[in-house]
Amino acid sequence: MELGKDLIFARNVEGLTALMQNAVVGIAGCGGLGSNIAVALTRAGIGKLILLDFDIIEPSNLNRQYFFLNDVGKLKVDALSKHLKNINSEIIIEKQIKQIDKEDTEKIFYPADILIEAFDRAESKKFLIESWVKAFPDKPVIVGNGLSGFGNTDLLKVQKVGNIYFCGDGFTNMDLGLTSARVAIVANMQANLAIEIIAKKGGLNADYKQPRQD
């Protein structure tokens, strides 16, 4: 079914859809973080995503990643692209099906206004952050850092240093297991931050003040 953007994004705050439409976001890793980030950004009206992942979907991914039983065995980037186009058929997706090292970051993600780090391993997080900031010191990178286990929602936070944003608790490791809700919270913190950066850059106010209760 083809639906116009004005219908799909009717609940976006005025002005946001146009800003999102013109934005390009890179997502490095399409697992628990990346798949959920991509869905959130697509639902917010993102114009273009660069999706990077080399892996195929395994049954153990279904506890937290945005995939379904009949996706098992497919490439994550392919299955995710299909789901995203099923939300907004006009989204532009650049598929990057490969493993990367620090030399590749710049040439793969250069069109992106923002890079979102959604890798599994801390070693990969490190080289991605360093190679991105070295190539594009003025462009933001949003890192998922510490999202294992369950509960403990109040430990999750956003910390900013320069143009690097860290989302998560900053310390929980995979030996605590990876659980749907906590992974998705951090993924959505990352997506929410990307939306905020895009909106603010476009002059859309995102500073909410709680009204006084007394």
Parallel, antiparallel, or unpaired for β 157-161 and 164-168?
A: antiparallel
* DSSP track, 113-174: SEEEE--SSHHHHHHHHHHHHHH-TTS-EEEE----BSS-GGG-EEEEETTEEEEE-S---G
Q: Which one of residues 172, 184, 191, 197 is an interface residue with other proteins (CB under 8 A)?
A: 172
Name the token pair of 44: 């917010």
Cβ atoms of 138 and 161 closer than 8 Å: no
Locate tokens 């279904």: which residue?
Answer: 62
CA neighbor of 161 nearest in space, from 190, 134, 140: 140
115 forms part of the interface with other proteins (CB under 8 A) = no
* Interface stretch with other proteins, choices 17-25, 75-83, 104-112, 158-166 (CB under 8 A): 158-166
45 forms part of the interface with other proteins (CB under 8 A) = no
* Interface stretch with other proteins, choices 18-26, 42-50, 86-94, 119-127 (CB under 8 A): 119-127
Between CA 189 and CA 184 the distance in angstroms is: 8
166 forms part of the interface with other proteins (CB under 8 A) = yes
Shortest distance, position 109 Cβ to other proteins, whole Å: 16
If the CB atoms of residues 19 and 197 are measured against other proteins, the closer one turns out to be 197
157 forms part of the interface with other proteins (CB under 8 A) = no
If the CB atoms of residues 14 and 123 are measured against other proteins, the closer one turns out to be 123
If the CB atoms of residues 9 and 166 are measured against other proteins, the closer one turns out to be 166
Helix (H) / strand (E) element for 93: namely strand 92-96
Residues 131-150 that bind other proteins (CB under 8 A): 133-134, 137, 143-148
Q: Which one of residues 82, 98, 121, 157 is an interface residue with other proteins (CB under 8 A)?
A: 121
202 forms part of the interface with other proteins (CB under 8 A) = no
Cβ atoms of 8 and 155 closer than 8 Å: no
If the CB atoms of residues 64 and 91 are measured against other proteins, the closer one turns out to be 64
Please, what is the angle between helix 32-43 and helix 76-85, to 10°?
20
Shortest distance, position 203 Cβ to other proteins, whole Å: 24
Cβ atoms of 55 and 103 closer than 8 Å: no
Residues in the site for other proteins, rule: CB under 8 A?
29, 31-34, 117-123, 125-126, 129-130, 133-134, 137, 143-148, 159, 161-162, 164, 166, 168-174, 178, 183
